[in-house]
């Protein structure tokens, strides 16, 4: 027992639960399938002990797997870094306001340093400390899959070439035929062919999907932004254009050059620049520039929100069967929550699609005192727009019709 305790720290076993989520399960399954089949196919196609090329191919394949898993688990378990509890800026009067570069994660109810997004594939947030590891994983996974896909194709080609009988009207494949030139130490039968074909599909799909995510991440990194900050900047421009204020919004963390921005995330030591709280900013800005802009956007959001009354109960299901086919099939593709609705409740909607809406539920005084906030998606058919009494409760002119 003492020997086991020396290897496994029981106080850290709760971290193993991060693996018990559909994201890591799928990601690690894809890595395991592609790596295992590629290793087996390498033995069949290019036996590493025969030639130098075979040895190099095999070592590179193992290297991809190790690097991918190293960056994946670092991104998962190192985490993004969190703001200490009860921390607040010493020179800012609003107690609830932290530097806008930090963001609250609704999944773990913590304030994340330089939060980019919550990633289900690592079951953790991507932020200050693990952004480089996460982006490296996004680069290495497609490269490894490209190498694996090449091995799959070459294995199928070399193994099937002598087994294909060309006729005038048909092509027949004899999977039981014996190769005349090369005698692999492992058989390439129907099961091996099916596994290789399946792994090839996974490798190609991963290359495309993860490769696109890598280019998206590099786009924001070279501008020293996060995905959240890019969205804030876009809304800032929309706000300025909507109200014609004439002000100029300067993104505070863009240091003016792609290389300078790149070095804020990627360093030789592996530790990103900064302490996760204070950051180098543009000379026209200060540490609170993004915070102030976000407060303006929140005020604008309240002004432009539209009040709705619930006319139909909703149980909070992601894809409700009883709300129509369009509502069922066009549910928002997001992990944002759905909220239960009861007939007679009031909702302030801030955005929406043709079939769904997103908003905040009007709460009781007791819920407000307890700090409760209920917001999320709900079917549009479950609510109707409130009609204001022009004598007593007129709607603001700036409100946006959703």
Q: What is the pLDDT of residues 251-263, one digit of tens each?
A: 999 998 999 999 9
Tell me whether residue 34 is exposed, middle or buried, using C-beta atoms within 10 angstroms of its C-beta: 0 to 12, 13 to 18, 19 or more.
Answer: buried
What is the pLDDT averaged over residues 269-292? 87
160/147 Cα distance (integer angstroms): 20
Whether pLDDT at 214 is above 60: yes
Q: Which pLDDT does position 97 carry in this prediction?
A: 44
Angle of the 227-243 helix axis to the 190-221 helix axis, nearest 10? 50
Whether pLDDT at 170 is above 80: no
DSSP string covering 40-102: HHHHHHS-TTT-HHHHHHHHHHHHHHHHHHHHHHHHHHH-S-BPPTT---TT-S-TT---TTS
pTM of the model: 0.79
Q: Both ends of the chain: CA-CA distance in Å?
A: 63
Q: Which pLDDT does position 63 carry in this prediction?
A: 97
H or E, element range at 349: strand 346-352
How is residue 6 annotated by DSSP?
Answer: H
The answer to whether 375 touches 298, Cβ cutoff 8 Å, is: no
**Rounded alpha-carbon distances, angstroms, from residue 251 to 221, 256, 294, 398, 400:** 14, 10, 12, 26, 26
Please, what is the Cα angle at 31 between 28 and 35, to 5 degrees? 145
Give whichever of 3-12, 185-194, 221-230 has the largest mean pLDDT: 221-230
Whether pLDDT at 388 is above 90: no
In this structure, of 231-245, 287-301, 381-395, the range with the lowest mean pLDDT score is 381-395
User: Which of these is catalytic: 34, 103, 119, 126?
Assistant: 119
> With bands split at pLDDT 50, 70 and 90, how would you rate the model's confidence at 180?
very low
Q: How many CB atoms lie within 10 A of CB 331?
A: 19
> With bands split at pLDDT 50, 70 and 90, how would you rate the model's confidence at 165?
low
Q: For residue 347, give the 3-state DSSP assignment.
A: strand
Tell me whether residue 240 is exposed, middle or buried, using C-beta atoms within 10 angstroms of its C-beta: 0 to 12, 13 to 18, 19 or more.
Answer: middle
Q: Which pLDDT does position 25 carry in this prediction?
A: 96
CA-nearest of 327, 382, 325, 322 to 349 is 382
Residues in the chain: 402
276/288 Cα distance (integer angstroms): 14
Give the residue carrying structure tokens 């800005």: 285
What is the pLDDT averaged over residues 342-370? 91
Structure tokens at 232: 């804030």
Q: Which pLDDT does position 399 carry in this prediction?
A: 40
Instruction: Please give the distance of CA 387 from its chain centroid, rounded to a whole number.
Output: 40
The answer to whether 319 touches 328, Cβ cutoff 8 Å, is: yes
Active site residue 119: yes
221/201 Cα distance (integer angstroms): 30
Q: Which pLDDT does position 166 carry in this prediction?
A: 52
Bridge partners of residue 292, in order along the sequence: none
Whether pLDDT at 178 is above 50: no
Number of H helices, E strands in the chain: 10, 11
Q: Which pLDDT does position 72 carry in this prediction?
A: 97
């Amino acid at each position: 027992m003492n020997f086991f305790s020396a290897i496994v720290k029981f106080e850290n076993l709760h971290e193993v639960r991060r693996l018990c989520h559909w994201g890591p399960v799928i990601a690690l399954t894809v890595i395991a399938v592609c790596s295992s089949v590629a290793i087996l196919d390498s033995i069949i196609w290019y036996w590493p002990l025969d030639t130098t090329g075979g040895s190099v191919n095999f070592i590179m394949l193992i290297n991809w797997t190790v690097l991918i898993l190293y960056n994946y688990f670092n991104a998962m378990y190192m985490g993004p870094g969190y703001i200490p509890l009860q921390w607040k800026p010493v020179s800012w009067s609003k107690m609830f306001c932290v530097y806008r570069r930090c963001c609250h994660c609704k999944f773990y109810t913590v304030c994340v340093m330089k939060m980019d997004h919550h990633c289900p594939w690592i079951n953790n947030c991507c932020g200050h400390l693990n952004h480089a590891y996460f982006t490296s994983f996004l680069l290495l996974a497609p490269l490894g899959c490209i190498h694996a896909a090449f091995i799959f194709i070459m294995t199928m080609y070399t193994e099937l070439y002598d087994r294909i009988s060309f006729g005038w009207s048909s092509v027949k494949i004899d999977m039981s035929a014996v190769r005349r030139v090369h005698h692999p130490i492992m058989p390439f039968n129907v099961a091996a062919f099916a596994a290789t074909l399946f792994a090839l599909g996974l490798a190609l799909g991963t290359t495309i999907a993860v490769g696109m995510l890598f280019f998206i991440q590099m786009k924001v990194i070279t501008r020293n932004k996060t995905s959240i900050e890019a969205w804030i900047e876009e809304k800032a421009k929309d706000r300025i254009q909507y109200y014609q204020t004439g002000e100029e919004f300067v993104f505070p963390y863009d240091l003016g050059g792609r290389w300078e921005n790149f070095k804020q995330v990627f360093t030789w030591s592996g530790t990103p620049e900064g302490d996760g709280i204070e950051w180098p900013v543009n000379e026209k800005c200060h540490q609170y520039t993004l915070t102030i802009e976000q407060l303006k956007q929140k005020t604008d959001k309240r002004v432009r929100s539209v009040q709705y009354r619930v006319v139909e109960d909703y149980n909070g299901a992601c894809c409700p069967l009883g709300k129509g086919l369009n509502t069922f099939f066009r549910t928002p593709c997001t992990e944002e929550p759905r909220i239960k609705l009861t007939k007679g409740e009031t909702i302030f909607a801030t955005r929406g699609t043709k079939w769904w809406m997103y908003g905040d539920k009007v709460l009781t005084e007791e819920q407000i005192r307890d700090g409760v906030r209920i917001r999320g998606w709900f079917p549009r058919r479950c609510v109707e727009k409130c009609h204001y009494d022009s004598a007593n409760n007129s709607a603001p002119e700036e409100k946006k019709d959703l």
